[in-house]
Amino acid sequence: MTQLDRSRLGHLTFSAPGHGGDWSRWARRWPWGGQGKGAWTIGDDGSLCAYAPSQVTTQKGVLCLTARPSEAKDGDAAWDMPYVSGLISSFPFFKQTYGYFEVRAQFPRGRGLHPGIALYRNPNPAIEDEIDVIETIGDDTRGAFLTLHFGSGAKDYVSQTARVFDAGAGMTTHGLLWTDKTISWFQNDQLVASTPTHAAQHAPMSLIINLGVGGNWAGAPDPRAFPARLLVEGVKAYALKA
């Protein structure tokens, strides 16, 4: 397998925790959802969870996004959704065009879970520019879905699946090398997929990490999967050498 050539990387532009990326700076809501329910849910795909700030915690520097059934104590934070979970966003304090982005994380397993790490440009109703660093579905944490989204249509995406490392077996480093010509995915510094950069992916993007529950893709959750936890040990971003 092809190894990541770190000599191509420039200076460190962002790191969490540390280097200006302390977990407390990250937003705990969907950045572009307005002031109502849309800021705390992603409902256009049938998702069953609200993203409550209480579900984002840290312990000894490790970030934890926890999904569980909603309870009376959640009150308005549950937005009448059957589950609450966690989401963090680097928007607006960090965004970048091109570079190498890596997240060291352990994904949970369980039917109906949909953890993901992605880069987003500011979405609007006309276009959705998104680069998925990794998504997994349910129990199959070995199947890494690697996708570019570049429009609002159902077919406006390019997706590949890698089955090299198990994202649920322990801490795994998920990397994305984004240049003006290609986008390449790495796991534990090993190249697992690559595709040409689409015309939509030439603008600054922010990082989102979330633990989704349910939805048209993930399906009905298994009650035995909860509480489910997505653990993040660290996030780094690098510029590219000229």
Domains, the chain, with CATH or none: 6-240 (2.60.120.200)
CB-count burial class (<10 Å; 0-12, 13-18, 19+) for 73: exposed
Q: How many CA atoms lie within 13 A of 226 on its CB side?
A: 22
Cα(83)–Cα(47) distance, rounded to whole angstroms? 9
Q: What is the predicted pLDDT for the residue at 124? A: 61
What is the distance of C-alpha 240 from the center of its chain?
22
Q: Which pairs from 20-23 meet CB under 8 Å and 24+ separation?
A: 20/94, 21/90, 21/94, 21/235, 23/56, 23/58, 23/63, 23/88
Cα(147)–Cα(79) distance, rounded to whole angstroms? 29
Q: Mind listing the pLDDT tens digit of every residue in the chain (242 residues)? A: 799 999 999 999 999 987 666 798 899 998 887 788 888 998 678 899 999 999 999 988 899 999 999 999 999 999 999 999 999 999 989 999 999 999 999 999 999 999 999 999 876 655 678 999 999 999 899 899 998 887 766 567 778 888 888 999 999 999 999 999 999 999 999 999 999 999 889 999 999 999 999 999 999 999 999 999 999 999 999 999 98
- Sorted by sequence, the CB contacts under 8 Å of residue 36 that are 6+ apart come out as none
pTM: predicted TM-score of the whole model, two decimal places: 0.94
Q: What is the predicted pLDDT for the residue at 123? A: 64
Q: What is the predicted pLDDT for the residue at 42? A: 82
Q: What is the predicted pLDDT for the residue at 152? A: 66
Q: Prior bond to 31 cis, omega within 30?
A: no
